[in-house]
Structure 1
Amino acid sequence: MVLLVSGSWAALFLLFAQVNQVFRDLHYVGSCHITPREKISECKDIINEGTCWCRHGCNFIDGRCIEVGILLGQRCEHNYQCTGTNHATLCLRVQSHKVCSCQQDFFAIEDKCFRDRVSINENCVRDDQCTGTENAYCDKRATQNMSTCRCITGYVNKNLKCFKGNRRLYESCDWSEQCTGTTGSMQCRLVEGVKICHCQDGYSVFHGNCLKANLSLDEPCYVQAQCEGKLNTTNCVKNNDSIQLTCQCNAGFIRRKDVCLQADKALYEECQVDEQCRDKPGGGVCRQILHRKMCLCDDGYIEDRESLKCRKGDKKINDTCEINEQCNGTKNANTCHFVEMESRGICTCNQRFQWIEGRCLEVGRFMFEACDQQQQCNGTTNANVCKSFGNKTLCYCNNGFLEFRGKCVEDKKNVRRVL
């Protein structure tokens, strides 16, 4: 409020008579050339007339010129004087005198008032402002040129509160976002009345970490126990040139599409593919026998039922052998005979056969039985000749012997003696 006083003495006298009490603190003069009596007022020349004004920095309040714009910490009498510092609008008594002080919810640092109890995500200038949320600080990284209160390192913001983060497996928690201290333990679960960090669904504890469980072929893994999603796939290894460990078939198994099948199947064991039967020489065929598929020997090999091995077939006379069935390369030489001196078996002519002129021929042939070589004709005494009869060759009596009643007897006198 500003009071104007005219230079006219008559007007001043009348005004003074009415409000003389109001002007007790002002020195009104007829000319502004006269120095004011008090520092808080001054005389200004307005249209050639002197008028008393409160000086700059003072306002006319309650009939007095009162200094305003007082700064934080400076002396004051009334709240309205404290306008020099933002948010320092209270004139409060401090010890023996009153000074301009920060308003409620603000606090003084040096010559400024800062907002107190600032919460998460609200603007701030200093760390000690962020007391509205426990475990918060003022993040001064520019975000639209403004700093904001954030959770301190090691804490996470959830619902505008800072909770301790990096919680490990089985440690207490309030929210899943806290559970980052153990790989894969991303859930805060209520277990027997207590909330703890727990493995998320589909994960299990392996060596103190939560890792994905029940993995299948080719899925990345860290330990073998993860690989239980497919039968016989508990091998966690590097596959080919990959640097990543993945679930693969167990040792002793082979892969067929997305299934691991047992390898090294024995003869006559059930199988699904040929590769299961190929771990042994001569074994490599999975064949359907009636309603069942089983491992059998390749072509050119013979099944040894006793040892359950595949033996090389088509063995010829005098070839090494283990079983008779191998000796099928020479006709009538189907016997594997163990030669003790040589400690091995060899293919020989069958019983009642002999090796004659490059063939195994039946011996012990009787008279009139078919023959190819004379050595065959030793079934009838003195009938050791293989003789042609038309288009046939038959065993017959030796020279000097005659056939008589199925026997070979000496000619003439012997015949007469018999008669």
Structure 2
Amino acid sequence: MLVSVKVCTFLVIFIFTFVVGDEEPLSSARIIRPRCSVDKDCNPNAFCFGNDNYMPGHCKCNDGFEMFTEGKRYECLEELQLGQPCMKNVQCQVTAGALAICSGEDTQKFCSCNETVSHRVKNRCYETRYLDDFCQVDENCLLPDSQMGEDKFAICASVCSCPIGMKPSQNKKKCLEFKRLGHKCENDIQCQLFTENTVCREVCTCEAGFVRSTYLQTCLKAALKFDDPCTEDAQCSAHLEESICVKNRCSCPANYHGYLVRCRANALPGNACFDTGDCLIFKELKDKVECRRGVCSCVYGKSYDEHICLSGKSSTNLGDDNVLIASILLVSIMKVFIY
């Protein structure tokens, strides 16, 4: 029993001595394995660390130098900043981060960032992320399409995000500012973020088929025919000449009627006219009236009564002869002045 206790005690002392003496916790990346008793046992730019009268120490790189191992060989290389001449990646990574590399021609290499996955911010390399990508810090969120004077980085809020009042571009490489109607713009998205149915034509404007509202805040659908719905006159007059919005429907002012795409002055049967369009006031007269000899007249075989064309009477019976004569004289006088 006593022998067993002695054996266990010996094993504990042996393990403790091995761990403490040979496997000192690596509190720094510059602690390296080679044993030493004095500084001259170590390579250039290194010193003997942890040695005393009872046990050897380890070679450790001086401050400002980093260990590089190759098999059983080691050397302490100077820690460098981005842009400085280098020999190995490890020289660049201490100050510039793990994404820094030593790149260039064999005879002329410099510390730089690995451009395929990272970018430089001051003297450090950060992993490149774009809008809506996951991130750790703002410096990850690169905006490569930003112009001079614009922020080059987005905001990291778990994912790369644009500031309030801005939205990502289609390629996720720029934050676009909202643009109102009439303001200068770079692309359609800037306009559409603030106002629907818009496009960028140097300035934000309404797309085809829409018109700008009175207070320039929205784009309203333009009417294509009379009686289309509306809220503002501009919707009607865009394609229907002189039309206005009356009770939320595109119509014409008093004493005018719609014909094709314009408002015409009313001319009832028996009134003076320039063409048949002047005579068409309501659908009941369609195909029943025409402008003949400068007067709105019912088509042959019909007559009018209270300005309504009727069948079964001669078209020569057009009511009040005085009205007819006055209308003919008026049209004749107007033609003289026109020609």
The structure showing larger relative contact order (alpha-carbon pairs under 8 Å, at least 6 residues apart) is 2
| Larger Rg, first or second structure (1 or 2) | 1
The interval holding the TM-score normalised by the smaller chain is: 0.3 to 0.5
More strand by share: 1
**TM superposition score normalised by structure 2:** 0.45
**TM superposition score normalised by structure 1:** 0.38
